[in-house]
C-alpha cells in the first residue's frame, strides 16, 4: 500500500484517508463547489474494462459485456457494455460533479454531438499500457484511444468553436485506468513479453508507455489527470481459482503493488517537468482494505463474484447466469470485475483526489 504524500500535485490516496468516507458518501455539495470554482467542464476517460461503458460493443472482439446479467442494476436494468451490475467509478465521478449521471462511450452510435462537452470515455475492455495487450484481444490500445481523443477535439471544435473547445479540454479532468490486462491477459499468458523482459523490466516498460500517453494528452491540451492504480490482482476470484489458493495469491499482489509504486514515482517526475496536475488513486489499497475489513463497508462476500459460481465466470461465460441476491454485499460482480458498490467506494476516493491534488 502506498502511504506517502507526493509533492507537485501527485496524491497517493491512502488507507488513512478512507476513514472520513465510512459514515456515508462524499459531500457532493462541496465537490460541486470545488469543481465550479476550478471551472471543471467534464470527465474524459481512458483505460480498460474498469472504465469502458461500451466502446467494445462495436469492436470485433469477444470481450463484451452488453448482455445480462451485466447491467441488471443499471438504470432500467439494461446492459450497456459495462462489466459490472451497474455504474462504474467514472459514472459516479461525473454524477458527483453534476454534469451527467453516466459517462457515455465515444463509439456509442447513439451518442449525440451536444453530449460531447459533458464528457466521454474512450476506454476499451481488454486494453493496457502495452499495445500488444490490446492487440491480443482486438481492442483499442492507448494510442488508438488517444487518436479518438483527437477526433473528439475536432468534433468539439465544430460544435462550440476553437477557443471554447480548447477551454473545455484544458479544464476537463482526465481519468486513466489500466494495467491489469498487461499481466493477466498478456505477460502471464502470452510468451512474447516474458522472452523480452523480466517482470521488473516489463513494469518499467509499462510505465514508459504510460508516460508517453500522458505526454500525448498534454499535447492535445489536457492539464488535469487522475491515474488509477492497478488493483490487487491476486485477490481476483479468477486468479485465485487458477492458482488453486483460497487466500489472495501473493505473487500476483506483489507485482501489482510494485507496478503501483513505479507509476507513483513516474507521476512525481512528470509533474516536475510539465504543466499537468496529476492525482493518483490507490486502487490496490482501497480494494485490499475492503477485502480485509468488509464490515467497514457493509460488505459480506470478498472471495467470489456474484455471477454464476463466482470463481471463474466473466465476460461471455457469465452470459445469462444466475446471480447472487444482493450484489451490494459483494466486492466482485464476476470473477474479475468489481460490483457497483465497490466502484462507488473507489469513486469516493477519486473525488478526494480531485479536490486535494488537482485543485491546489
Q: Dihedral sign for Cα 127, 130, 133, 135, please.
A: positive
DSSP per-residue codes, 136-153:
HHT---HHHHHHHHHHHH
- Identify whether 35 is preceded by a cis peptide bond (ω within 30 of 0): no
Catalytic position from the list 2, 48, 73, 337: 337
| All three cell numbers of 278 | 496529476
CA distance 276 to 329: 38
Answer left, alpha or beta for residue 281, where phi above 0 means left and psi between -120 and 50 means alpha.
beta
Helix (H) or strand (E) holding 22: none
- Is 151 tagged catalytic? no
State yes or no: cis peptide before 89, omega within 30 of 0: no
CA-based Rg of the chain, rounded to a whole angstrom? 19
Active-site residue, 2 included:
no
The three three-digit cell numbers of residue 120, written as one number: 466521454
Ranges of H-type helices in 274-339: 283-292
Of the listed 108, 130, 334, 348, which one is catalytic?
334
Determine which one of 49, 121, 127, 137 is catalytic: 49
CA distance 7 to 308: 45
337 is catalytic: yes
Pick from 205, 227, 346, 224: which is nearest to 274 by CA?
224
Catalytic residues: 49, 334, 337
Amino acid at each position: 500500500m502506498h502511504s506517502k504524500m507526493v509533492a507537485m500535485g501527485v496524491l497517493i490516496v491512502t488507507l488513512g484517508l478512507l476513514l472520513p468516507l465510512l459514515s456515508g458518501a462524499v459531500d457532493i455539495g462541496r465537490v460541486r463547489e470545488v469543481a465550479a470554482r476550478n471551472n471543471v467542464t467534464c470527465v474524459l476517460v481512458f483505460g480498460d474494462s474498469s472504465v469502458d461503458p461500451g466502446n467494445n460493443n462495436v469492436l470485433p472482439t469477444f470481450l463484451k459485456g452488453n448482455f445480462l446479467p451485466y447491467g441488471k442494476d443499471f438504470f432500467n436494468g439494461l446492459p450497456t457494455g459495462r462489466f459490472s451490475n451497474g455504474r462504474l467509478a467514472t459514472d459516479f465521478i461525473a454524477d458527483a460533479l453534476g454534469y451527467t449521471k453516466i459517462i457515455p462511450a465515444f463509439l456509442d452510435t447513439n451518442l449525440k454531438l451536444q453530449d460531447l462537452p459533458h464528457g466521454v470515455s474512450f476506454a476499451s475492455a481488454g486494453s493496457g499500457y502495452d499495445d500488444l495487450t490490446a492487440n491480443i484481444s482486438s481492442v483499442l490500445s492507448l494510442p488508438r484511444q488517444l487518436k479518438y481523443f483527437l477526433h473528439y477535439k475536432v468534433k468539439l471544435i465544430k460544435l462550440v468553436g476553437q477557443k471554447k473547445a480548447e477551454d473545455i479540454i484544458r479544464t476537463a479532468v482526465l481519468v486513466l485506468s489500466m494495467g491489469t490486462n498487461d499481466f493477466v491477459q498478456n505477460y502471464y499468458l502470452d510468451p512474447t513479453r516474458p522472452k523480452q523482459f523480466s517482470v521488473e523490466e516489463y513494469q518499467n516498460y509499462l510505465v514508459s508507455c504510460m508516460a508517453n500517453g500522458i505526454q500525448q494528452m498534454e499535447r492535445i491540451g489536457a492539464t488535469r489527470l487522475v491515474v488509477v492504480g492497478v488493483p490487487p490482482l491476486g485477490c481476483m476470484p479468477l486468479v485465485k481459482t487458477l492458482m488453486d489458493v483460497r487466500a489472495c495469491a501473493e505473487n500476483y499482489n506483489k507485482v501489482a503493488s510494485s507496478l503501483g509504486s513505479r507509476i507513483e514515482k513516474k507521476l512525481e517526475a512528470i509533474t516536475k517537468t510539465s504543466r499537468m496536475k496529476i492525482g493518483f488513486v490507490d486502487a490496490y489499497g482501497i480494494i485490499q482494505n475492503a477485502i480485509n475489513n468488509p464490515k467497514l463497508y457493509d460488505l459480506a462476500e470478498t472471495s467470489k463474484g456474484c455471477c454464476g459460481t463466482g470463481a471463474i465466470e466473466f465476460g461471455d461465460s457469465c452470459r445469462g447466469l444466475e446471480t447472487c441476491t444482493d450484489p451490494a454485499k459483494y466486492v466482485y460482480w464476476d470473477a474479475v470485475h468489481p460490483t457497483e458498490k465497490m466502484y462507488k467506494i473507489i469513486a469516493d476516493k477519486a473525488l478526494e483526489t480531485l479536490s486535494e491534488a488537482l485543485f491546489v
